[in-house]
Amino acid sequence: MKPKFVCSLMAVAALFASAAFAQTGSNSSAGALPSAPGTANDPPALTANATGTKVSAINVEQAIFASNEGQRDMDALSKKFEPKSNELKIQNDELEALKKKANTAAEDTKPELQRQVEVKQKALDRAAQDAREDFQTQQNEIGQRILQKMAPVIMKYATDNGLGMIVDTSQPWPQGFVLWAGPSMDITKAIVDAYNAQSGIAPPASKSGAKPAGAGIGSRPEASTGAKTATPPAK
């Protein structure tokens, strides 16, 4: 089940505005806040100092979890949930064995066994749902924490490369707003590389195809950095 973590660039835009405001304020004389047009009591305009006109695309979700920090923290989270994943597997194996027993039981004992199957199935479903929600909550916390630090990197890249707009392709159309974005527009890998260089965190060791711990509970987004395109629904 794909985690429901969705990183909208609205959050990044808010951080951009805050960063631009802080930068403008720090350049004012005596540290005073700049005055916006109008009366002196009007709030200052929160505008970024970017004059570019080019448009680029980024899959924010992939950028976060493809970064060295994102991979490291998700590996740690998966290992944390490994005992719960093993516990759910044991419960599932017991349930499957009970189902087989109920299917081959005599008519006088079958109703009781079927009742036990229903009870165990409900308990397993509830435990699995709780584990998924807990996993996704902690994954979201990782994503939001990294996004707070990645936002200035994105802003700097936009300024250095004359970008006037960056669209987020984390959610495919029609859930997201971007119908299609060509690979040549995608800056996800560039942002990941820039963030890795800034963080100084080493890439995780190769696992040679090993299955991550806790994989039965939740899964992180694919750690690819290509542009995500949407496939129109079939008519």
86 lies in some domain: yes
What is the total count of domains within the chain? 1
Question: What would the pLDDT profile of 8-55 be if each residue is shown by its tens digit?
Answer: 444 444 444 444 434 434 443 333 333 333 333 443 333 455 567 899
Q: What is the pLDDT of residue 205?
A: 84
- Could you tell me the residue range of the domain that residue 19 belongs to? 9-30+44-173
Q: What is the pLDDT of residue 80?
A: 97
58 lies in some domain: yes
39 lies in some domain: no
206 lies in some domain: no
DSSP 57-121: EE-HHHHHHHSHHHHHHHHHHHHHTHHHHHHHHHHHHHHHHHHHHHHHS-TTTHHHHHHHHHHHH
Question: What would the pLDDT profile of 118-164 be if each residue is shown by its tens digit?
Answer: 999 999 999 999 999 999 999 999 999 999 999 999 999 999 999 99
Q: What is the pLDDT of residue 53?
A: 83
